[in-house]
Amino acid sequence: MNDTQIRSLVEDVRDGKLPRRSFIEKMVGLGLTVPTASMLLMHYGVANAQTVPAYKPTKRGGGGPLKLIYWQGAVHLNPHYAGGTKDQDAARIFYEPLAGWDGEGNLVPILATEIPSRANGGLSADGKSVTWKLKRGVKWHDGKDFTADDVVFTAAYAGDPAAAMVTVGTYKDIKVVKVDSHTVRVDYPRPTPFWAEALVGIVGLILPKHAFENFMGAKSRDNPANLKPVGTGPYKIVDFKPGDSLRAEANKDYHVANQPFFDSLEIKGGGDATSAARAVLQTGEFDLGWNLAVEDEILKRLEAAGKGKMTFYTGSDIEFVSLNVTDPWNEVDGERASSKSKHPAFSDKAVRTAMSLLIDRKGIADSIYGRGGITTANFLNNPPRFRSNNTKWEYSVDKANAALEAAGWKKGADGIRAKGNVKLKFVYQTSVSGPRQKCQAIIKDACSKAGIDLELKSVVASVFFGGDFANPDTYQKFWSDMQMFTTTMTQPDPQYFMEQFTTAEHSQKANKWASRNLVRWSNKEYDDTFRAAQTELDPAKRAALFVKLNDLVVNDGYVIPLFARPRPIGTVNKLQATISPWDNTTAFLNNWWRDA
């Protein structure tokens, strides 16, 4: 089907001759995903038939307290420093973007009045600019007006390399221009098919200029607002104890009528996932439990109490093992795991191949994760049009032994393989979590059968994901041989997600370990392909480029995908929570309510 035929169908939808659902089904039949088909409609000015579920309450407040349990407690509340999900979710309570992603992958306006399209003049014909119209009457929590100046400032603030923020890659090459007090234009240096990254979702949370402008660049980490947010969101900060608890109250001046429903909000951090699951599903002490990465057998027993239920939201989150490209034990120019160094063992492809062969993905998924783990050989798994059919995984101790033997890694008297003065002895770290420690143990046992010795290291989640750059055990530093965790994809387009393996994103001392390429992998073909994907306007060609990116990183063996991870959220039965797998858990917190 050519472009003219697609436009004709779009016009039929606009004129009411063709149901929106029928259009989407036709596009899916052509190989597009539901989010992509929806984006096509938006591109030509056809509004979404469904955004977020209807909000039932008819007045603001009166819902009492809302209690959430995040067994990994947030440590700061500046969204542009939030490399971990727990910090992103906490920041999203207070700050809002121009638009977010609903459960179907549709763009939903939040601080914008509408989604830009060709029909409404928001998208330029050359793909190099996007114009956003902003809501009027929005107030910051301190009573000041939200205007275009705040949007322009946020882009400049996040795009400043001296500030070393995790969102710098989104903003450093674009320019956001004030058109009038409530209109901004985003100018891109080249045609940009995925224009809905900047100012959208978790990377697009808008900051108040008046609270942040005196803390630009290198001074940005000293801003008191990093712990005391001044946002436009449905709740205002009351008290924050990093790593422990957060309390907020309803924003009585919130810009959406009759929202929020709850009078107050409490998030309890710390503990472990099993205790959090029990506190929601069995006792009902908390309304919602985040990331309940618990053995499925335990979750089912807790659900049997009848007080709560589990929901698994399928997006493209992935649990994976990283093999360090660099040497984490020796310094180069005063830096451990320097990008100038090479790992003494993992630089041998045979060792990386053996490590992949020694992971029984299906056995681990079946025995531990159940509904919460879908075995995969891909790092990028959804939307389906970006999923590679070229990769595969295999579990074979015999083949691992053969690969190591052929590469000259011989077993010594202690049973551990070595070549020269390098032994296959590795420190394998992850966060403290029952399933992860069991997973570590299973992999260690298989490795021992191939002459590889693993020292298992478990780091308290608040430290591992904490962003404390003085601590050697953060996952950002990756000062071990191997590490394992889940990374989230918070938008239904893989551009930002796959940017994390570009050379420009190396996590290192110079950027305060705030960039996202934690494994410090570098590949020129990957970098060139990523740049091509950033400007490819043909959807099919662009999808093929992302498939290639997945294949390049997976086949090189430093990144070993284990399972696609549907987000495991537990809620008490009466809570009506609007949650999207393509955005933060708290993205639509203003829409949550509780049945009487």
Note down the domain range covering 307.
61-73+240-313+567-596
- Among 157, 153, 152, 182, residue whose Cα is nearest residue 167: 157
Assess whether 251 and 338 both reside in one domain. Answer: no
Say if 580 falls within a structural domain.
yes
Assess whether 206 and 256 both reside in one domain. Answer: no
Which residues on neighbouring strands pair with residue 375, listed in sequence order? 563
Taking a C-beta distance cutoff of 8 angstroms, is the pair 354, 557 a contact?
no
Torsion sign (Cα): 530, 564, 96, 218: negative
Coil/strand/helix, residue 130: strand
Taking a C-beta distance cutoff of 8 angstroms, is the pair 553, 526 a contact?
yes
Assess whether 214 and 332 both reside in one domain. Answer: no
CATH number for the domain that contains residue 267: 3.40.190.10
Assess whether 195 and 305 both reside in one domain. Answer: no
CA 225-231-237 angle, to 5 degrees, is: 70
CATH number for the domain that contains residue 387: 3.10.105.10
Assess whether 369 and 463 both reside in one domain. Answer: yes
Assess whether 446 and 553 both reside in one domain. Answer: yes
Give the DSSP H/E element, type plus range, for residue 405. helix 397-406
The type of residue at 437 is Q
Q: Tens-of-pLDDT digits for all 596 residues of the chain?
A: 665 677 678 767 755 667 665 676 677 566 554 545 655 565 454 444 334 455 677 899 999 999 999 998 899 999 999 878 899 999 999 999 999 999 888 899 999 999 999 999 999 999 999 999 999 999 999 999 999 999 999 999 999 999 989 999 999 999 999 999 999 999 999 999 999 999 999 999 999 999 999 999 999 999 999 999 999 999 999 999 999 999 999 999 999 999 999 999 999 998 899 999 999 999 999 999 999 989 999 999 999 999 999 999 999 999 999 999 999 999 999 999 999 999 999 999 999 999 999 999 999 999 999 989 999 999 999 988 899 999 999 999 999 999 999 999 999 999 999 999 999 999 999 999 989 999 999 999 999 999 999 999 999 988 998 877 789 999 999 999 999 999 999 899 999 999 999 999 999 999 989 899 999 999 999 999 999 999 998 889 999 999 999 999 999 999 999 999 999 999 999 999 999 999 999 999 999 999 87
Write out the DSSP string of 436-470. Answer: HHHHHHHHHHHHHTTT-EEEEEEE-HHHHTS--TT
The tally of domains found in the chain comes to 4
Q: How far is CA 486 from CA 8, 69, 84, 438, 521, in A?
A: 42, 19, 10, 16, 18
Phi, psi torsion values for 505, nearest 5 degrees = -95, 15
Say if 251 falls within a structural domain.
yes
Coil/strand/helix, residue 53: coil
Assess whether 510 and 497 both reside in one domain. Answer: yes
Assess whether 226 and 269 both reside in one domain. Answer: no
Say if 50 falls within a structural domain.
no
Say if 55 falls within a structural domain.
no
Assess whether 306 and 251 both reside in one domain. Answer: yes
Assess whether 177 and 102 both reside in one domain. Answer: yes
